[in-house]
Structures are given as structure tokens and as C-alpha cells.
Amino acid sequence: MNLWPPLLLFLSVIVVLMAGYPVAFTLGGVALLFAWLSTALGLFDPVFLDALPSRLYGIMTNQTLLAVPLFVFMGVMLERSRLAEELLETMGRLFGRRPGGLAFAVVIVGMLLAASTGIVGATVVTMGLLSLPTMLKRGYDPALSCGTICASGTLGQIIPPSIILVLLGDVLSSAYQQAQLDQGVFSPDTVSVGDLFIGAVIPGLLLVGLYLLYLMGVSIWRPARMPRDPDDGGAVGTGQMLRVLLPPLLLMVAVLGSIMAGMATPTEAASVGAVGAMLLAAVNRQFTLDRLRDVMRTTVRVSSMVFMILIGAALFSLTFRGLGGDDAVHEVLTHLPGGVFGAVVVVMAVMFVLGFVLDFIEITFVVVPIVGPVLLTLGLDPVWLGIMIAINLQTSFLTPPFGFALFYLRGVAPPEVRTADIYRGVAPYIVIQLLTLALLAAWPRLATWLPDLVYQ
């Protein structure tokens, strides 16, 4: 088996992407170039590309992928409705004058925004603009402040409704069916986006709990890094707290509750979330025609990018398969030392490194279809695998020097905050992320117990 053609194709795509060319056109263009050269050399059968029209038709008629623009709309609308500002202000006052109160508020608000928007970049930027200057003014350690904001902002990767879980659910569904067909199972089981949403609840809450535990330890043993606020702005009344906290909580319940109760598919729940976001904006008196146009333009841009990448990834996948890439990956992963464990470790390590240069969309559409069927053929649970991938990519996006979350925060941080402060600040949270991955690897039921309970 000749491993070089598919390996060269993959490496060429990485090199061109690092040169700064658009992802969607890089995937499709490099794949077509390799298909043409390989055909001339007798290494590729162009009949593989005949499947492209049916692939594109499948993308156009895929009901699951309709959830992407709806969740993007929901997230952008909530971002424009001043939800984060009110949450931060109220939660900061709620924790009062205890050491680290503002840091606790940032983590909790990050969790609520993750469950309300699911868009990592917007959450990190918003939290950086709103909370970082206040934390620095109150004497918080710059490294701890930056690390807390970056880590809290990336919770949108794992806490549903997450865009990455929507895309992973669709890709893993196809990979799971292919794996079962390869094993001779012609009435395959299915895995859905709803399975991943429900499976991510416990790992997501575990991650938030570990973040808060770390901050509690710092507030006890290193209180100078997160001092008390001498002026907390006054106590928060029950009515005000409910007014601020209830709307995002109700939106979470409406979206996730309808899925868990079997009342709605993820796509239908996404439409509920989109309508709910507009209602929240109207309640906050932030809903105008100009804002609606702005939100819709942003939604179209983001959704168009996602689907163009998906089309380019379809071309890449067909060319990679025609060059024997699927068989090569299967051969390599099944003969690694350590068996299934060794294969999972290698795949996770490769995805972690690729997360430095590729966004989660490219990794989901390019890498997961290649390695997913092989890993699932080895007997791994698709829900567990999806949650592991999501947390792994979240860790990658936090890791210096290339983590995307670090770039987002660097772009909005005050000049006095050094890049070294951001790098030092995220280090403890990277350890927490790796600990969560280890716990999930040791106890897969953390991801699979709740879906089994709900669907039984």
C-alpha cells in the first residue's frame, strides 16, 4: 500500500492553509489539483469524483445542518442584546466582597453565555471587553484574569447548544453508519446531535466545577491575586437577580429540555432558541430593525463559511479516499502499539496539534471523517468519542502559543497586559482540561450515562 499520495495531499492542505489561503477553496482546490496529477500518473480513478453531486445534494437536504444557521442567529442576537453586560454586573455584585468574587462571576457567566450562544470567539471577546478592565482595576493578577476569561470563553465548545457538537453529530452519524456497514451490520444504529448535546451536559458541568474549585483554592491560599472588592455596588435583590438570570436559564431549558424530553429535534430546538433570542432582545429593548439586519448579515456570513468549507471538505474526502487514504489510515491505526488505547491517544494528539492551525470546523469536516470510521470500528462509543474530541479541541484552543482563544483576548486586552501574562494564566486551566479528558477516558459513563438514561 502506497502511503505517500494521501499523506502528501493532507500535508499540502495544511501548508496552503498556513500560508493564509481561504479554507474552503484550499480544500477543494488542492484536492482537485491532486486528483488531476494522480490521474495523469495512474494513481487515481476519476470515477470517485462522480459521487460529488450526490454529496452536495445530501448537504443541501440535510435537516440536521439547518440547526447551524439557527444556532448562529441565536448566539449573535444574544450577543447584541447586552445579555453579557447585565449578567456580569449582577453576578459580580451577587458574590459581593468575598475574595475572587468577580472571577467566580466570570466563570458562571461564561457558562451561561456558552449555553445561550455556543460561539467561542464572541464570548471571549465580549468577556475580555467587559470584565478584564474591571478585574485589573480591582487589583486582580493579570495572568489569573486572562486565564479565567479565556477558559470561560471556550466553554461554548462543550456546553450545549454548541456549534461544534452540531457539526460533530452530523459527521459522527455518517462515520458510525459506515463503521457498522464495514462490520457487516446492515441495519445500523444511529447517533444524533441530541445524543451529543445530552452527553456533553455532565462533562461540561464537571469542567465548570473544576474551574470554580481552582479559583476557590487560589482565593484561600493566594488571596492577594484576587482581592476583595471594597465597593461591590450594593446588594442584589431577589427580583433583580431573577430578572437577569431567568431569561437565559429559560432559554437553556427551552432548547435542551425540548431535546431531552423528546419533544423536538435539535433543528426544531434551534428554531425555538432563535425565536427566544429575539424575545430576550425585545425584553431588553435591544430589538430594532437595524440590529436584526446586522444579526442576519452576520448569520449569513458565518453559515456560508461553514457550508463552503463542507463542500470543499467533500471534494477533499473523495480525493483522499480515491488515493487510498482510508485504507492507509485504517492500516496505521489498527497496527499501533497499545491497540484501541494507542489509536485514541495518537488521534487525539494529532487533533490537538492541528487545533493550533485549523479551526474546529475544518478539523470536524476533514479529520473526523478520516479517523472516525476506523475508531468506531474498533468498538468505541460514538457519543464518548464526540465529547472527547470536543474537549480536546477546547484544550488546543487554550494552549500557547497558537490557541485561538489567546489571539481573541490579545486583540481586546489593554496594552499593559503582556502576552506572557495570558500564556501563564491559561496554564492551570489547561491542566484542568487534561484532567477532565483523563477522567472521561477512565470513566466513559460520564458521557454516556445521561443519554442512556434519557432514551431509556
pLDDT tens, residue order, the chain (456 aa)? 567 888 888 888 888 877 778 878 888 899 999 999 999 988 888 888 888 888 888 888 888 888 888 888 888 888 787 777 777 777 777 776 677 788 888 898 888 887 766 666 667 887 888 888 888 888 889 999 999 999 998 888 888 888 888 889 888 988 888 888 877 777 777 788 889 999 999 999 999 999 999 999 998 898 888 887 665 555 666 777 777 788 888 888 888 888 877 788 888 888 988 998 899 888 888 888 999 999 999 889 888 888 888 888 888 888 988 888 888 887 888 888 888 888 999 999 988 888 877 777 778 888 888 899 889 988 899 999 999 999 998 898 888 877 778 888 888 888 888 888 999 999 999 999 999 999 999 999 999 999 988 876
User: Which positions ≥6 away from 388 have C-beta within 8 Å?
Assistant: 344, 348, 437, 440, 441, 447
Where residue 9 falls (left for φ over 0; alpha for ψ -120 to 50; beta otherwise) is alpha
* CA–CA distance, 237 with 316 (Å, rounded to integer): 56
User: Which positions ≥6 away from 281 have C-beta within 8 Å?
Assistant: 77, 78, 80, 81, 287, 291
Cell 460529488, residue located: 52
Residue from 219, 126, 146 nearest 427 by CA: 146
Cell of 437: 479528558
* CA–CA distance, 252 with 275 (Å, rounded to integer): 13
Exposed, middle or buried: residue 340 (CB in 10 Å: 0-12, 13-18, 19+)? middle
Confirm if 139 and 101 have CB atoms less than 8 A apart: no
User: Which positions ≥6 away from 427 have C-beta within 8 Å?
Assistant: 147
Cell of 316: 477533499
357: three-class secondary structure by DSSP: coil
Confirm if 200 and 165 have CB atoms less than 8 A apart: yes
Quote helix, strand, coil % in the chain, to nearest 5.
80, 0, 20
pTM of the predicted model as reported, rounded to 2 decimal places = 0.86
Cell of 445: 459513563
